């Protein structure tokens, strides 16, 4: 939802060569994405089993099915932040009229996903391995796009993401601990 409204403004800033405004807008969007999706990731990791049980465990869906689905959700949730960030980085390329790098990064991510699926399919990870392959592929796609930006990873400093990510990770860890303690209290 963040990518759609910022694309026209981002395109205008790129076209007018207003790099400071471009970095400010994009940095705000990336920080907002981190603030929204890091806690969501932690919440999904900590509450995956009760959520799956609540939504699906009835009729032919068993507790074993819930465990299997929750196992996959654990690994899919690791890709939430990179996937959300991708929805912002790709429009930045589009605003800069660069369509080639997102295509190349997507092809590389698809090939990596296929290779990781083949690798993880025959491990004890089972369906979790397929989910992990997807999350790792999305992360690789994002990292390639960030690397290929003008200035490479140096642009990350201009967006001031580090402090936001660290504070948000700390808050998410506290939230995860609270959820863990509450689950222990409720389940005992």
- The per-residue pLDDT for range 84-98, each reduced to its tens digit, is 999 999 988 988 899
Neighbouring CB atoms inside 10 A of 88's CB total 19
What is the rounded distance in angstroms from the CA atom of residue 53 to the CA atom of residue 96?
A: 45
What is the rounded distance in angstroms from the CA atom of residue 95 to the CA atom of residue 2?
A: 15
Using one digit for the tens of pLDDT, what is the confidence trace for 105-140? Answer: 999 999 999 999 999 988 999 999 999 999 999 999
User: pTM for the whole thing?
Assistant: 0.90
What is the rounded distance in angstroms from the CA atom of residue 89 to the CA atom of residue 152?
A: 12
């Amino acid at each position: 939802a963040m990518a759609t409204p910022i694309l026209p403004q981002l395109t205008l800033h790129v076209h007018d060569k207003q790099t400071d405004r471009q970095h400010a807008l994009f940095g705000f969007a990336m920080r907002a994405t981190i603030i929204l999706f890091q806690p969501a990731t932690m919440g999904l990791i900590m509450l995956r089993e009760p959520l799956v049980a609540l939504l699906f465990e009835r009729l032919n869906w068993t507790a074993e099915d819930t465990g299997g689905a929750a196992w996959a959700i654990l690994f899919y949730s690791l890709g939430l932040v990179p996937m959300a960030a991708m929805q912002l980085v790709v429009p930045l390329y589009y605003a800069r009229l660069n369509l080639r790098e997102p295509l190349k990064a997507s092809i590389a991510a698809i090939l990596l996903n296929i290779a990781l699926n083949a690798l993880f399919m025959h491990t004890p990870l089972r369906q979790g391995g397929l989910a992990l392959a997807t999350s790792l592929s999305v992360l690789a796609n994002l990292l390639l796009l960030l690397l290929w930006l003008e200035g490479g990873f140096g642009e990350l400093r201009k967006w001031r993401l580090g402090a936001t990510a660290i504070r948000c990770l700390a808050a998410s860890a506290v939230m995860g601990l609270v959820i863990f303690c509450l689950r222990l209290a409720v389940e005992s």
